[in-house]
Structure 1
Amino acid sequence: MATLVLTGLGTAIGGPVGGAIGSLLGNAIDHATWARPRGRTGPRLTELRVQTSSYGSAIPLLFGTMRVAGTVIWSTDLIESRGRAGGGKGQPTTTSYSYSASFAVLLSARAIRGVGRIWADGKLLRGAAGDMKAAGVLRVHSGGEDQAVDPLIASADPVTPAYRGMAYAVFEGLALADFGNRIPSLTFEVIADEGAVTVGAIGAACGPVTGGGTATLDGFAASGTARDVLALMAQAGSGWWAADGDTVRWHQDGEAVLEIADPGVSAPGLDGAARQRTTAPADTVPGVVSVSHYDPARDWQAGLQRARGLAGSRREERVEMPAALGADAARTLAEAMLARARTERVRRVVTLGLDGMAIVPGRIVRVAGETGRWRVMEAAVEGLAMRLTLVPVTAATMSVAGTSGRVAGAADERIGATLLVLAETLPLDDTLLNQPRLTVIAAGEGRGWRSAALLWSADDGASWTPAGGTAASGIVGIVEQAPGEAPATLFDTAGAIVVRLARGDMMLTDADEAALDRGANLAVAGDELVQFGRAEPLGEGRWRLSRLLRGRRASGRMATGDAFAVLDGETARTIDLPIAAMGRTVRILATGLGDGAAVEGRLRLSGTSVRPPSPVGARVEPMPDGGAVVRWTRRSRLGWRWIDGVDVPRGEESERWAVTLDRGGAVEERVLDTAMLTLTAAECAGGPTMAVRQQGMWGDSAPLTITLG
Structure 2
Amino acid sequence: MATLILTTVGTLIGGPIGGGIGALIGRSIDGEIFGAGSREGPRLEELAVSTSTYGQAVGRHYGRMRSAGTVIWATDFKEQSETSGGKGKPKVTTYSYSVSFAVALASRPIEGLGRIWADGNLLRGAAGDLKSNGILRIYEGHGDQPVDPLLSAALGAQCPANRGMAYAVFEDLELADFGNRIPALTFEIFAGEASELASDLAIQTGATATPDAIPQGLEGFSHTNGTLLQVFDLLSEFHQLAPQQQILPLNIAPAGTSQAEPIMLPSAIAASESEFGERDGTQLTKRGTPRRATSVRYYDIDRDYQAGVQSSNGRASNVGERAVDFPAALSAANAQRLAQRVSLRRSAKAERMMWRIAELDPELGPGRLVRLPDTSGIWQIDAWEWRDTGIELELSRFQYPQAAQGGSDSGAVWTPPDRAAATTVLRAFELPWDGTGSSDTPQIYAAVSAGPGRWAGANLSLSQNGVLSEIAFAPAVKAVVGQTISDLPPSSALMLEGDAELLVELLDPEMLLTSTDVAGLAAGANRLLIGDEIVQFLNAEEQSAGQWRLSGLLRGRGGTEEIAQLNQSAGTAITLLNGRVFDVPLTSFDPQTDQLAALGVGDEHPVLANFEGAGSTRKPLTPVHPRSSFDAQGAWHLCWTRRARGAWNWPDEVEAPLVEQAENYQIGIGPVSSPLIEWHSVEPLVSLDAAQMADISASYSGLDIWVRQTGSHARSDALRLAIVP
Could you tell me the TM-score, scaled by structure 1's length?
0.78
More deviation, 268-277/303-312: 303-312
Q: Secondary structure at the match of 1:493?
A: strand
Residue 566 of structure 1 pairs with residue 568 of structure 2: no
Task: Please report the RMSD computed on the Cα atoms of aligned residues, expressed in angstroms.
Answer: 4.5
Q: Give 1:41's aligned residue.
A: 41
Which letter maps to 2:424? T
Q: Could you say what secondary structure the match of 1:217 adopts?
A: coil
Task: Output aligned runs, 1:403-552, within 5 Å.
Answer: 403-415=409-421, 417-426=423-432, 431=436, 434=439, 435-444=441-450, 447-456=453-462, 464=469, 466-469=471-474, 472-479=477-484, 481-488=486-493, 489-491=495-497, 493-497=499-503, 499=505, 501-502=506-507, 505=509, 507-509=511-513, 511=515, 513=517, 517=521, 521-532=526-537, 533-534=539-540, 548-552=553-557
Other-structure match for 1:222: 223
SS state at 2:558 partner:
helix
Aligned-pair CA distance for 1:498: 5.1
State the Cα distance separating 1:113 from its structure 2 match: 2.1
The counterpart of 1:280, out of the listed 270, 282, 287, is 287
Structure 2 Cα separation of the partners of residues 412 and 420 of structure 1: 24
The 5 A counterparts of 1:10-49 are 27=28, 41-45=41-45, 49=48
What's the CA shift for 1:319?
3.0
- Quick one: distance in 1 between partners of 2:555 and 2:496? 8
**In the alignment, is the contact (CA less than 8 A) between 2:666 and 2:679 conserved in 1?**
yes
- Between 74-83 and 363-372, report the one with greater CA deviation: 74-83
Residues of 2 paired with 1:527 and 1:277: CA distance? 96
Asked if 2 retains the 8 angstrom alpha-carbon contact of 1:64 and 1:219, the reply is yes
Whether the aligned pair in 2 keeps the contact of 1:377 and 1:388 (CA below 8 Å) is yes
Question: Which residues of 2 match residues 146-225 of structure 1 at below 5 A?
Answer: 146-155=144-153, 156-193=155-192, 195-197=193-195, 200-205=198-203, 207=205, 208-211=207-210, 212-213=212-213, 215-224=216-225, 225=227
Query: Could you tell me how far apart the structure 1 residues matched to 2:191 and 2:519 are?
Result: 57
1:130 lines up with 2:138 in the alignment: no
Give 1:315's aligned residue. Answer: 320
Cα separation, partners in 2 of 1:493 and 1:262, compared to 1, 3 Å:
farther
Q: Within 2, Cα distance between the matches of 1:365 and 1:549?
A: 95
Aligned residues, how many?
667
Paired residue type of 2:596: I
Partner of 1:402: 408
Which of 352, 367, 371 aligns to 1:366? It is 371
Cα distance between partner residues in 1 of 2:172 and 2:308: 34
Q: Which runs of 5+ in 1 are unaligned?
A: 1-23
TM-score in terms of structure 2 length: 0.77
Report the Cα distance in structure 2 between the residues aligned to 1:159 and 1:331, rounded to whole angstroms: 50
For 2:240, the equivalent position in structure 1 comes to 239
Whether 1:702 and 2:712 are equivalent positions in the alignment is: no
SS at match of 1:270: coil
Deviation at 1:670, TM superposition (A): 1.6
Q: Distance in 1 between matches of 2:118 and 2:406?
A: 34
Contact 2:540-2:551 at 8 Å conserved across structures: yes
Cα separation, 1, equivalents of 2:559 and 2:655: 16
> Which residue identity lines up with residue 413 of structure 1 in the other structure?
R
Q: How many Å apart are 1:572 and its aligned residue? A: 0.6
Change (3 A) 1:312 1:219: closer
Q: Give the drift of 1:235.
A: 3.6
Secondary structure, counterpart of 1:496 in structure 2:
strand
Kindly indicate whether residue 706 of structure 2 is the aligned counterpart of residue 691 of structure 1: yes
In the TM superposition, what is the alpha-carbon distance from 1:157 to its structure 2 partner? 3.2
How far does residue 527 in structure 1 lie from its aligned partner after superposition? 0.6
Closer, same or farther in 2 for the Cα pair 1:265/1:229, shift >3 Å? closer
Question: What SS is found at the alignment partner of 2:344?
Answer: helix
- Contact 1:115–1:191, Cα closer than 8 Å, also in 2: yes
Greater Cα shift, 620-629 or 479-488: 620-629
Distance in structure 2 (CA, Å) of the matches to 1:576 and 1:614: 28
SS across alignment from 2:377: coil
| Contact 1:471/1:572 (<8 A) preserved | no
Cα distance in 1, alignment partners of residues 421 and 527 from structure 2: 26
User: Which residue does the alignment assign to 1:669?
Assistant: 680
Q: Hey, what does 1:589 align to over in structure 2?
A: 597
Shift of 1:554: 3.2
Question: Does the 8 Å contact 2:77/2:97 carry over to 1?
Answer: yes
Q: Name the CA shift for 1:383/1:663 in 2 (closer, same or farther; >3 Å).
A: closer
Whether the aligned pair in 2 keeps the contact of 1:50 and 1:186 (CA below 8 Å) is no
Q: How far, CA to CA, are the matches of 1:152 and 1:140 in structure 2?
A: 13
Q: CA deviation at 1:241?
A: 4.0
CA contact (8 A) 2:217 2:334 kept: no
Is the 1:25–1:379 Cα contact (8 Å) retained in structure 2? no
- Taking the aligned partners of 2:442 and 2:580, their CA distance within structure 1 comes to 19
SS in 2 for 1:66: strand
Give distance in 2, aligned partners of 1:398 and 1:629: 104
Q: For the residues of structure 2 that align with 1:515 and 1:406, how far apart are their CA atoms? A: 50
1:81-120 equivalent positions in 2, closer than 5 A: 98-120=96-118
Kindly provide the CA deviation profile for residues 415-455 of structure 1, in whole angstroms up to 9, marking residues without a partner as x. 35432112222467x74653321110012467333212223
CA distance in 2: counterparts of 1:35 and 1:356, whole angstroms: 28
Q: SS of the counterpart of 1:152? A: helix
Give CA-to-partner distance per residue, 1:107-144, whole Å, 9 cap, x none.
21112222233333333333333333334333322222
Map Cα deviations across residues 276-300 of structure 1 (whole Å, 9 max, x no partner). 44443545x545513221x333334
Tell me, in whole angstroms, the C-alpha distance in 1 between the residues paired with 2:583 and 2:316. Answer: 68
Counterpart amino acid of 1:172? E
Q: Which of 583, 592, 603 lines up with 2:611 in the alignment?
A: 603
Which of 618, 622, 645 is residue 614 of structure 1 equivalent to?
Answer: 622
- In the alignment, is the contact (CA less than 8 A) between 1:305 and 1:327 conserved in 2? yes
Q: Deviations over 1:597-618 (max 9, x none)?
A: 4333222664433555434344
Aligned AA (2:357): G
Residues 326 and 423 (structure 1), Cα distance of their counterparts in 2 relative to 1, 3 Å cut: same
Output the CA distance in 1 between the equivalents of 2:236 and 2:294: 20
The residue aligned with 1:352 is 356
SS of the counterpart of 2:418?
A: coil
- Find the aligned partners of 2:108 and 2:417 in 1 and give their Cα distance: 30
- Label 1:521 to 1:336 Cα distance change in 2 as closer, same or farther (>3 A): farther
Cα displacement (A) at 1:318: 3.1
Q: Distance in 1 between matches of 2:519 and 2:347?
A: 70
Mark the CA change 1:154 to 1:649 in structure 2 (over 3 Å): closer, same or farther. same
Cα distance, 1:370–1:487 mapped onto 2, change above 3 Å: farther
How far apart are the structure 1 equivalents of 2:531 and 2:317? 76
Residue 11 of structure 2 corresponds to none
SS of the equivalent of 2:310 reads strand
Residue 330 of structure 1 corresponds to 335
Q: CA deviation at 1:632?
A: 4.7
Aligned-residue identity in percent: 31
Supply the distance in 2 between the matched residues of 1:128 and 1:310 (Cα, whole angstroms). 34
Distance 2:241 2:48 in 1: 31
The amino acid that maps onto 1:372 is G
Query: More deviation in 56-65 or 619-628?
Result: 619-628
Confirm or deny: 8 A CA contact 2:619 2:715 kept in the other structure.
yes
